[in-house]
Structure 1
Amino acid sequence: MSQQVSTTVSATATKEILKESARRRTFAVISHPDAGKSTLTEALALHARVIGTAGATNGKENRRETVSDWMQMEKDRGISISSTALQFAYRDTVINLLDTPGHADFSEDTYRVLAAVDCAVMLVDAAKGLETQTMKLFEVCRARNLPIITVINKWDRPGLDPLALMDEITERTGLAPMPLTWAIGIAGDFRGVWDLQKDEYVHFERQNSGASLAKEEHFTPEQALEREGDAWTDSLDEAELVIDGREFDRDAFLDAKATPILFSSAALNFGVKQILDALVDLAPSAGPREDKDGGLRPVEAPFSGFVFKVQAGMNRAHRDHVAFIRVCSGIFERGMVVTHSNTGKTFATKYAQHLFGREREVIDQAYPGDVVGLVNASALRVGDSLYVEEPVEYPPIPFFSPEHFRVARSQDPSRYKQFRRGIDQLEHEGIIQVLRSDRRGDQAPVLAAVGPMQFEVVEDRMTQDFNAPMRYEQLSYSLARLTSAGAAEILSNVHGAEVLVRTDGAFVAVFNDIWALRRVEKNHPEVPLAVIGTESPNSRGY
């Protein structure tokens, strides 16, 4: 009898998991800095009616705080420094939106986020086209075979010709553009969009400087022609050149061979509802997840997930830190005992929360595709896998190769404990890579970064969060390679080179420039040198 009940419960749970995972859309917004990512995030939340007023206004001098930018440096500079998870409902769908830093200095954080999503929205500035950082992020998406929805943003401002933008997307990404909406009116004269799926004209009217939902009016093509005249016919002629008689191919989108195109002005809330609808109707739901060995973990398997981000300082009153978990399979239930795959140890998930920017609420259950914040799970690091019943380990998230190096020292020797604790915490979060050596001692760790702005974040966090003001000493190194313990003695007498030990135990050789690296490769071929990023975050040595 008990066996029959257990089977029934299992079948019921499986049905629930499949239903709920099919409702999830988990995606990241990626772009070059200042293309409008955080503004679009606000606009999406506004259209889903989970906030009452958009936080971004037209000029950054008038910028209100956005729900996704919560660090003081983000508010002061008007840029995203840290990725943020927002969850809200739209139609009958659960949206898990991960806002990412656009600045190249924070590429590591963006890369981790892209490991946790099923789709990406690539935001393109209408006046600038595909910029450097946009293309770098696109290459990461291509390596992960992530489907991409492309949004041409800021169409309310003067910009490039739409056909030129389509050509650039085709030539530089290799993706076939498939318009879902097409702007009516040239860049700078944004009147509305032609919704190709519904074959109707959606006219937008600005409301309250863009802080409120734009008014929409819907017209048939005949009414649109009468209303807009040449602007309507010219736009349709352009769109037809891109479509060229082809029908929208969702399979090509899901296979990352084509990209849906939508036009918008996130600051004015023009075209934003259409983006949400495209995500619900076209973006992939949570599906089977590939493990480290290339197998697929079905969504209906027992709970599993992995850590893609660790963040402290979100709640200054409690000084806690949060491990962000992407749920990959099964049902997450608050209080459940999970196994940490790296150590084999178990722990109870007492403090589990959903996050909406900095705001939190306790969560009792979560499903594949959801992001769960585990509070004060101090043993967890980026890339760690968790599971119940059936063991699984997901692919590691590799380090990026640092290009900037500075020695960190406490300004006040009496606050060395706070200094040490702060450096350890920021390394734990993945804000910075920490390298040490016997020669320099533990009081002078070397901080290694992808971009120099990471040092500013460290300095700000050390002062604000840990009350441990610090100072830097510039180092001339600009290249790093993984090496072995035996290389330390060999390179100790080589000008422009040094071997340091990363916190995870890996030996890292650093060099002044490419010429110093090449001298070592020529004169010491026995020294192993591997590009950072090809190893597991938990590797030890070469």
Structure 2
Amino acid sequence: MSAATEPRDAGHSGAGKGSHDPVQQARRRRTFAVISHPDAGKSTLTEALALHARVLSEAGAVHGKAGRRGVVSDWLAMERARGISITSAALQFEYGDCVINLLDTPGHADFSEDTYRVLSAVDSAVMLLDAAKGLEPQTLKLFDVCRHRGIPVITFINKWDRPGREALELCDEVHERIGLRPMPLTWPVGESGHFRGVLDRNTGEFVSFERTAGGATIAPEHRIAAEDAAEEAGADWQRAVEESELLSASGGDMDVPAFSRAGATPVLFGSAVQNFGVGHLLDLLVELAPQPTPREDVAGRTRELDAPFSAFVFKVQTGMDPAHRDRVAFARVCSGTFERGMVATHAATGKPFATKYAQQVFGQQRDTVELAYPGDVVGLVNASALGVGDTLHTGKPAVEFPGIPSFAPEHFAVARTTDPGRSKQFRRGIEQLSQEGVIQVLRSEARGDGAPVLAAVGPMQFDVATHRMETEFRAPLQLERLPYHVVRLVGDQQQRSTLQTRNSEVLDRSDGSALAVFTDDIALRSLIRLHPELDLRHVVADTD
């Protein structure tokens, strides 16, 4: 454990606090994701939240800036080298009487599938907006996913310590472009780039912050009564008060039911890198973020929180412990009480699954977990039988939660090993990456098993796959890019021969389905005109 990391009281997911009743324990849980466009500051905010919860004594920095260690949520070598998140990370810690399950997500559009899987496992989301850039393309897409899934969103306008846009302009953009009514709970005192603090719209106080060296420690804050704030902040305070009154007159005050319906978003202003405003966000999550609620299974039946244990796997990760190259399945507990060592049923196969090796995760660091409750994320180690979307449960009747759809890939490449002597490791590594969802693996009758086709939503996934094959499996790859960019699901397998043309071919997926891939939309439309009987369907996740 890092010297900058303190012991975490949440090691047993609240087992030492009060009742072990899953309903009561669920009330203590806040399970949320941090999402945004790349470079908006997700990993920095994640680090700052852990710092304010006092589970870190010092915040790390992206790229390990100023001689500091890296952030706990970006632990892969590629993440630290590039300064971006390329895989989701789970952190659990206690804050007051609450247990926080925080999931940091990749911001880059190439890793949208990983972000989407995480959103299936949370009860709310924190969306970061860059004060200078506002709503960016990936931000818009993620808001749409949250709205489609009914996930309440809290907005944190970040980097207010740097030059940027007007606060009112940013709030108007949120309302006009995505239809969420902004409800600012704090309002900046001082324009972006001249951040003096915030007006707490609930108490009317001026909250000022003190800078710390590089933002590595909690920024002390001072609350100043409204009648003294004008003397302290002058015209900046007066402007903040006037704009706050304008917000109230235009319906910008807090409306809890609207937030719960995912029709409005509380808004906070701050600077994650300076730790300004982060404490307000953490307190808001405890106060307003929804606790776990009963979930529906594939049959539409509601699985109550006090029903026997159930959970679904939303992520599989290897390489967290380089010394052992183990495999961890991240499962979100949906009902009942998880007890380490219990034997659950794997819904997909009906076979028993032993949970002897179960861990609570904090970035790359892990502790054994004995008990977990609805809302918690449990890391099941060496869970080779589990895949993304699988359900575990105990008791009867059996339960299976809806699976997690795959995105339609847009980039394809044939993979071959450059070292024939490592063919076994090559096959094992490709299978592992497929099971984790790092990349989709397709097979071609013409190419054979030695030359699988890797399919990706974005080209950076190829970089991750290549890096991991070289470093984890010692099986270097040679990729031959294919010219395809459009994909459809083949509805009638007897039409395969018709789909094999100069501009298209059929590739097989591990679930038994067949995908027709085309060079472009023109090739697809031309073939349909020649063969209108073709049964081709879209391959999309339920984000529309």
TM-score (norm 2): 0.94
Q: Which amino acid aligns with 1:443?
A: G
For 1:74 and 1:292, how far apart are their aligned partners in 2?
A: 36
Q: What is the aligned partner in structure 1 of residue 307 from structure 2?
A: 301
Query: Alpha-carbon deviations, 1:488-514, whole Å to 9, x = none?
Result: 21122x220000101221101000000
Match of 1:280 among 286, 300, 309: 286
Check if 1:363 corresponds to 2:351: no
Q: What is the aligned partner in structure 1 of residue 383 from structure 2?
A: 377
Match of 2:102 among 97, 103, 116: 97
Query: Shift in Å at residue 525 of structure 1?
Result: 2.2
Query: Alpha-carbon deviations, 1:354-399, whole Å to 9, x = none?
Result: 0000000000000000000000111111001111113111111101
Structure 1 residues 400 and 60 mapped into 2: Cα distance closer, same or farther (>3 Å)?
farther
Match of 1:488 among 476, 493, 496: 496
For 1:346 and 1:65, how far apart are their aligned partners in 2?
A: 39
Query: Shift in Å at residue 135 of structure 1?
Result: 0.5
For 1:470 and 1:252, how far apart are their aligned partners in 2?
A: 51
Check if 1:77 corresponds to 2:85: no
RMSD across aligned C-alpha pairs, in angstroms?
Answer: 1.5
Query: Shift in Å at residue 248 of structure 1?
Result: 1.6
Q: What is the aligned partner in structure 1 of residue 394 from structure 2?
A: 388
For 1:173 and 1:245, how far apart are their aligned partners in 2?
A: 18
Structure 1 residues 514 and 61 mapped into 2: Cα distance closer, same or farther (>3 Å)?
farther
Tell me the SS of whatever aligns to 2:21.
Answer: helix
For 2:206 and 2:508, how far apart are their aligned partners in 1?
A: 61
For 2:172 and 2:162, how far apart are their aligned partners in 1?
A: 20
Q: What is the aligned partner in structure 1 of residue 149 from structure 2?
A: 144
Tell me the SS of whatever aligns to 1:212.
Answer: coil
Structure 1 residues 428 and 124 mapped into 2: Cα distance closer, same or farther (>3 Å)?
same
Check if 1:120 corresponds to 2:128: no
Check if 1:158 corresponds to 2:166: no
Structure 1 residues 515 and 439 mapped into 2: Cα distance closer, same or farther (>3 Å)?
same
Whether the 8 Å contact between 1:58 and 1:209 is mirrored in structure 2 is no
For 1:138 and 1:519, how far apart are their aligned partners in 2?
A: 35
For 2:212 and 2:539, how far apart are their aligned partners in 1?
A: 49
Check if 1:458 corresponds to 2:470: no
For 1:487 and 1:279, how far apart are their aligned partners in 2?
A: 52
Tell me the SS of whatever aligns to 2:273.
Answer: helix
Whether the 8 Å contact between 1:63 and 1:78 is mirrored in structure 2 is no
Whether the 8 Å contact between 1:23 and 1:92 is mirrored in structure 2 is yes
Tell me the SS of whatever aligns to 1:266.
Answer: coil
In the TM superposition, 1:425-464 aligns within 5 A as 425-464=432-471
Query: Shift in Å at residue 67 of structure 1?
Result: 0.3
After superposing on structure 2, the runs of 4+ consecutive aligned residues of structure 1 that deviate more than 4 Å are 57-63
Query: Alpha-carbon deviations, 1:93-130, whole Å to 9, x = none?
Result: 10000000000000000000000000000000000000
For 1:324 and 1:364, how far apart are their aligned partners in 2?
A: 15
Gaps of 5+ in 1: 1-12, 536-542
Match of 2:58 among 47, 53, 60: 53
Query: Shift in Å at residue 235 of structure 1?
Result: 1.1
In the TM superposition, 1:203-214 aligns within 5 A as 203-214=208-219
Q: Which amino acid aligns with 1:499?
A: V
Q: What is the aligned partner in structure 2 of residue 4 from structure 1?
A: none
Whether the 8 Å contact between 1:178 and 1:243 is mirrored in structure 2 is no
Comparing 357-366 and 196-205, the one that deviates more: 196-205
Query: Alpha-carbon deviations, 1:320-364, whole Å to 9, x = none?
Result: 010000000000000111111111111211100000000000000
Q: What is the aligned partner in structure 2 of residue 6 from structure 1?
A: none
Q: Which amino acid aligns with 2:278?
A: V
For 2:359 and 2:236, how far apart are their aligned partners in 1?
A: 49
Gaps of 5+ in 2: 1-17
Q: Percent identity?
A: 60
Q: What is the aligned partner in structure 1 of residue 521 from structure 2?
A: 514
For 2:307 and 2:515, how far apart are their aligned partners in 1?
A: 39
In the TM superposition, 1:3-14 aligns within 5 A as none
Q: Which amino acid aligns with 1:375?
A: V
Comparing 189-198 and 76-85, the one that deviates more: 189-198
TM-score (norm 1): 0.94
Q: What is the aligned partner in structure 2 of residue 249 from structure 1?
A: 255
Whether the 8 Å contact between 2:63 and 2:80 is mirrored in structure 1 is no
In the TM superposition, 1:159-198 aligns within 5 A as 159-198=164-203
For 1:244 and 1:282, how far apart are their aligned partners in 2?
A: 23
For 2:336 and 2:106, how far apart are their aligned partners in 1?
A: 30
Whether the 8 Å contact between 1:28 and 1:119 is mirrored in structure 2 is yes
Structure 1 residues 14 and 220 mapped into 2: Cα distance closer, same or farther (>3 Å)?
closer
Whether the 8 Å contact between 1:58 and 1:267 is mirrored in structure 2 is no
Q: Which amino acid aligns with 1:135?
A: L
Query: Alpha-carbon deviations, 1:7-37, whole Å to 9, x = none?
Result: xxxxxx9972111100000000000000000
Structure 1 residues 305 and 66 mapped into 2: Cα distance closer, same or farther (>3 Å)?
same
Structure 1 residues 345 and 14 mapped into 2: Cα distance closer, same or farther (>3 Å)?
farther
Match of 1:24 among 25, 29, 32: 29
Query: Alpha-carbon deviations, 1:184-218, whole Å to 9, x = none?
Result: 11000111111112221111010111011101111
Match of 1:527 among 522, 527, 534: 534
Whether the 8 Å contact between 1:496 and 1:512 is mirrored in structure 2 is yes
For 1:495 and 1:63, how far apart are their aligned partners in 2?
A: 54
For 2:221 and 2:135, how far apart are their aligned partners in 1?
A: 29
For 1:101 and 1:61, how far apart are their aligned partners in 2?
A: 24
Query: Shift in Å at residue 59 of structure 1?
Result: 9.1
Query: Shift in Å at residue 87 of structure 1?
Result: 0.2
Aligned length: 522
Q: What is the aligned partner in structure 1 of residue 481 from structure 2?
A: 474
Whether the 8 Å contact between 2:132 and 2:164 is mirrored in structure 1 is yes
Tell me the SS of whatever aligns to 1:326.
Answer: strand
Q: Which amino acid aligns with 2:517?
A: V
Q: What is the aligned partner in structure 2 of residue 10 from structure 1?
A: none
